[in-house]
Every structure is written in structure tokens, then in C-alpha cells.
Structure 1
Amino acid sequence: MTPPSSPATADAAPAGRRRWRSADSPVLRAFARSRTVQFATTVVVLLLLAAVLSPWLARQNPFDPSQLDLLDAFTRPWEAAGSGVFYPLGTDDQGRDLFSAILYGLRVSLLVGVASVALSLAIGVPLGLLAGYVGGWFDTLVMRIADVQLTFPVLLVALLIFGIARGVLPAGYRDDMALYVIVGAIGLSDWVQYARTVRGAVLVEKHKDYVLAAQVIGRSRTGILVRHILPNLLAPVMVIATISFALAIVAESTLSYLGVGLPPTQPSLGTLIRIGQGFLFSGEWWILLFPALVLLALALSVNLVGDWLRDALNPKLQ
């Protein structure tokens, strides 16, 4: 005989999912009404496609010396170079095609953003689930660590982690491991907001009827957390992840601009901006301007999508 409480467990997660399923869902209706979000989403998709297709869209691999020509150095945008080649965004001091360099740099920046957000999620969400559901000394320990980390700026924590990792690595491996180090530094500095948000939501959800019903019929603690509570927390986690994605890209660009991020052999948008800044006051403005505009468009568009998700997934605003 089916226990009388089983319908509650069967209907544990649909509250958040129903917002996405049907064509008349609130999320899709909100998306259809907002031209700003549609434009921002289009920009993000185009930049993602450009990054993925960069080996085919780029004229050259801008960081392969065999493909460069010093005669093309400092070619202004929309002008032919000394070799007769046309570069739409100009070239830098090494004769690199700036359009190709931006495509390759965009790919690295997006990779860092996705990987660092994934690392933050993998650390913060499980810790928040366990802290909120188990409570006790584990909850106290996790929250005190989070409180201590919150007293320091995220960029400062990332710099500290980056410096320690670079100091531990042998000198010959530092450039090769730079990408992994920067992902780890940003990811480890950003898990706190996931843990605190998920913990607060779990403290509310674990006293609801569907969780109590799952406990009555003998569901394991892991099953309750993963199959019943976690699906109802996806909305706030998605919002945080979207905004954190833009912040991670900006943090990586800031670290690279400061010279402690990715090396010139692994270009990111921040690396290109740092290179261009050295030529800004000598008249080669395009070397800085175009990578900065791409970074601005990417970060602003992702933030707009994140703000829209926060409002669209908030039932109080429906």
C-alpha cells in the first residue's frame, strides 16, 4: 500500500521546474517582454560562438611567432599593413592581428570563468546543503570559515591563493600551470556566497511537509538532500552562478592586468588589455580599446542576464 505521504515526496521539486516547462511559463514570458535581456543574451551567445570557433574565424594564431610579420606592427584599424594584408582591428607591436588575438583571448577568459564557477559550485553547494541540514558543529565550522573569508575582498583572497600556489610550484612549471592556478584561486575565493545562500534555503526547506514526508517513508539523508531539497534551490544557485561568471571573468582580467594572472603565451582579455595599456599614450589606442570593449560587452551582458534571472525566478515578483 502506498503511504499517504508519498504524494508530497513525489511533488517535491516541481515548484521551481514548472516555471521553465510550458510555453506560457513566467520565465519565458518575462524573456519575451524584455528587449534588453534578449539583446544581452544574443551578445553572450555570439561571443561564446566566436570563442568556440576562434581557430576557424581567426586569420592567424596570434601567439605563433612563425605566423607573425614585424612589418605589420602597429597597423591602424581598417588600414592595409606594410605587407599588404588588411587587418580590420589593426595589429600590436609584434604584428599580431588584434581581431585574432581577441578571439583567442576571449576563449581563455570564458574557460576561466566557466571552470572557476564550476569549482565554486562544487565546493559551496555541498557545504551549504550539509551545513543547513545537519547543523551542529559542522554548520558552525563552515559558517565561521565563511565569515572569516568574507572579511577579505575576493580579489585579495585570489591574490593570496595565487601567490601561495605559484610559490609552491617549481619555476619551470609555473607558466604551464598558470591556467589551473588562476581557476583555483578564483574558485576558492568565491564559494562562500553559494554556501551561505544554500544553507539559508535549506534551513527553510527542511521543515516543509515534503521533507518530513520523505523522512517518514525512510528516505536516506543523501536522497532527501539530492532528490528533494536541491531541486528547489536551483533558482537562487543559477542566479548566483550567472553573476559570478561575469565577476570571475573580470577578476581574471584584473589579475592578468596586474601581471599576476595568465602569461603572454596564454592570452586572455586581461592580458591583451595589459599589453595595450603600455602603448596607449604613444598613440596606439586600438591595442587597448578593442579588447576592453569586448570585455565590457561580455561582463555587462552576463550581468544583465543574471539580474533578469533573479527577477524572473522570484515568485514574489510574478
Structure 2
Amino acid sequence: MAETSPSLVPARWWQLRRSDSAVLRALGRSLTVQAAVVVLLLLCGCALFTPWLALQNPFDPAGLELLDAFTAPGQAGLSGIGYPLGADEQGRDVYSAILYGLRMSLFVGGASVALSLAIGVPLGLIAGYTGGWFDTLVMRIADVQLTFPVLLVALLVFGIARGILPESYRDDMALYVIILAIGLSEWVQYARTVRGAVMVEKHKDYVLAAQVIGRSRSGILVRHILPNLLAPVLVIATISFALAIVAESTLSYLGVGLPPTQPSLGTLIRVGQGFLFSGEWWILLFPGLVLLALALSVNLVGDWLRDALNPKLQ
């Protein structure tokens, strides 16, 4: 039996030893990226183990001490309970509230990226491979959406969804509505990137060989072309993750995001903003610093992946 020509065999992402080495080398050369990875892992670990790390459940009214309202950071309230990052107007521990808010922000960001991937990648694959009217339709929809700011699209989707839902279900469905709003506003980047890459890949030898031996169209897209597109998709997903977190925080800050019963970092910042000029600065400062650290670390990791997985920079 004749051996298969190496040029006809697509490279699998788990076989790219050189890319793996390049990623590790790029990580080893940058102390900034190393610090960003450590901060990101630390924040994700805190969100994962929130029930064990939090000093209280800040959203359980029975566990709050109203007498401890506005306790300064590092001091103990009238009840004798210490608050390392202070307490807010309801006597909630700011440190515990940040942990729960961080958990919610990370969940919304991850779910929004997953939804954008589920929409944009298949559309980009099919549009780039088949072309024709479907390609034209998808790209024109993408062009129209790109004329509007992402935040405006998210606000529009959020408003429509909230208008359709009965008032009694709005708070319960707010989490899913915000994920839907952000996910539908971010799919365009994936679709355009994947479409452009597919238009290049589909003319290569390994795709032509798969067509000759009778591979189905879906098999070619999923088993041959898609593995070669994972690097750019991963980079976009990482950067979009940070953008989704910031978008959710912005919507929650504007009062159209998550309700107070399911607060994120944006909700905590919106609440703290009302007390900034009355002297209770810690209610706003600490959630803002955590959001800044989270968004900055994700962006730095995304930039590192983009440079490390770019063969032109090797």
C-alpha cells in the first residue's frame, strides 16, 4: 500500500509540537505575561472555590449584620465581626460580595463566548466553503451588525428579550438574557475570521484529496479544515472573553444587566458609585480593581496567544 503523502495530511492541533514549544517560549520570555497568567488563574480559582473562601453569603439577608453597615476596611463592626475589605450599606462583607460577583462575571463571560462560538464558527465554515447566496447573506448580515457598536447591539437584544418576557420572570431570566445579548453581539468576529481562513484552506491539497476519496462536505469541514482553524479561533475567544466581561459589567453598571439578587462586578460597582462621594470609597474601589485586574490579565494572555501562535512571528 502506498504511503500517504505528508502534504495531503492536515496538521492536527494536538500534533503541533512546534506551536506548543513556541507558546511556552513566548511565555518564558515575558514576565508580564507570566504575571497575567498567575493573576488569571488566581481569580478563576477564587471564583471556583467561592463558597469556601467567602466569609459569608452576602446575598442571604438572614446572615447580614445591619449594625455593621459602612464598616471601614480592616475594622470590626459593632457586632464584632471583622471585614477585611469593609462592609457596604447593608452590612454585607465587600470581600465576599466580590467573590460572588467575580464568579457571576466569569460565568457570563464564558457562556457568552461559548454562544458566540456556537453561532459564528459554523456560519463561517459553511459560508467560506460553499460560497454562493449563503455566503453573501451571512456576510451582509455581519456587515450590517458591524455598523452598530457592540454595546448598542447588546442593549437592543436585551431590551427586546426583556419586553417579550412577562414581568414576573424578568429577574429570574436576567442571567440568560444577558448571555444571549452579549453572545449575539459578538458572533460576527468568529464568522468573518473562520470564513476567510476556510476560503484559503479549501484549495489546499489535503482538502482536494479528501474530496477525491469521497469525504462528505461535513466530514471535510469538521475533521480536516476545522482543526487547522483552532489557533485563530482560540485567540479571538480569549480576547472576546475579556470584552464580554467588560460588556456585562457595563450593562450591569447601567442598570440593565443582572439584578441585585444575582450581582456581578458591574452591579457592585454601580452600587458603590452611589457612595463614592460620601466617604465610603471601598464599596466602589475594590470591585473596580478586581474587574480591572481580570480584564487586563485576560487581554494580556490573549495578546500573548496571538503572537505565540502566529507563524510569521516565529
Partner of residue 10, structure 2: 12
The whole-number CA distance in structure 1 between the counterparts of 2:5 and 2:51 is 53
Bigger shift: residues 29-38 or 111-120 = 29-38
The whole-number CA distance in structure 1 between the counterparts of 2:26 and 2:134 is 40
Gaps of 5+ in 2: none
What TM-score do you get using the length of structure 1 for normalisation? 0.96
The whole-number CA distance in structure 2 between the counterparts of 1:154 and 1:315 is 30
Task: Find out whether 1:276 has 2:272 as its counterpart.
Answer: yes
The whole-number CA distance in structure 2 between the counterparts of 1:208 and 1:246 is 34
The whole-number CA distance in structure 1 between the counterparts of 2:117 and 2:223 is 17
Q: Report the number of matched residues.
A: 314
1:65-106 CA distance string (max 9 Å, x none): 000011110000011111111100000000000000000000
Q: Is the contact made by 1:311 and 1:317 (CA closer than 8 Å) also made in structure 2?
A: yes
Partner of residue 145, structure 2: 149
Partner of residue 136, structure 1: 132
1:175-195 CA distance string (max 9 Å, x none): 000000000000000000000
Partner of residue 37, structure 2: 41
Task: Find out whether 1:314 has 2:310 as its counterpart.
Answer: yes
Partner of residue 85, structure 2: 89
Q: Is the contact made by 1:90 and 1:97 (CA closer than 8 Å) also made in structure 2?
A: yes
Give the 5 Å matches for 1:69-108: 69-108=65-104
Question: Alignment partner of 2:291: what SS?
Answer: helix
Partner of residue 237, structure 1: 233
Distance 1:238 1:151, change over 3 A: same
The whole-number CA distance in structure 2 between the counterparts of 1:232 and 1:7 is 15
1:113-170 CA distance string (max 9 Å, x none): 0000000000000000000000000000000000000000000000000000000000
| Residue identity opposite 2:244 in structure 1 | A
Q: Is the contact made by 1:98 and 1:287 (CA closer than 8 Å) also made in structure 2?
A: yes
The whole-number CA distance in structure 1 between the counterparts of 2:262 and 2:187 is 25
Task: Find out whether 1:176 has 2:172 as its counterpart.
Answer: yes
Partner of residue 197, structure 1: 193
Q: Is the contact made by 1:119 and 1:187 (CA closer than 8 Å) also made in structure 2?
A: yes
Quote the sequence identity (%). Answer: 81
Q: Is the contact made by 1:6 and 1:214 (CA closer than 8 Å) also made in structure 2?
A: no
Partner of residue 65, structure 1: 61
How far did 1:24 drift?
Answer: 7.2
Question: Alignment partner of 2:222: what SS?
Answer: helix
How far did 1:282 drift?
Answer: 0.4
The whole-number CA distance in structure 1 between the counterparts of 2:210 and 2:178 is 41
251, 258, 261: which one pairs with 1:262? 258
The whole-number CA distance in structure 2 between the counterparts of 1:17 and 1:140 is 33
| Residue identity opposite 1:13 in structure 2 | A
Question: Alignment partner of 1:181: what SS?
Answer: helix
Question: Alignment partner of 1:189: what SS?
Answer: helix
Task: Find out whether 1:185 has 2:172 as its counterpart.
Answer: no
Task: Find out whether 1:291 has 2:294 as its counterpart.
Answer: no
125, 132, 150: which one pairs with 2:121? 125
The whole-number CA distance in structure 2 between the counterparts of 1:143 and 1:232 is 22
The alignment yields a C-alpha RMSD, in angstroms, of 1.4
Q: Is the contact made by 2:19 and 2:309 (CA closer than 8 Å) also made in structure 1?
A: no
Gaps of 5+ in 1: none
Question: Alignment partner of 2:223: what SS?
Answer: helix
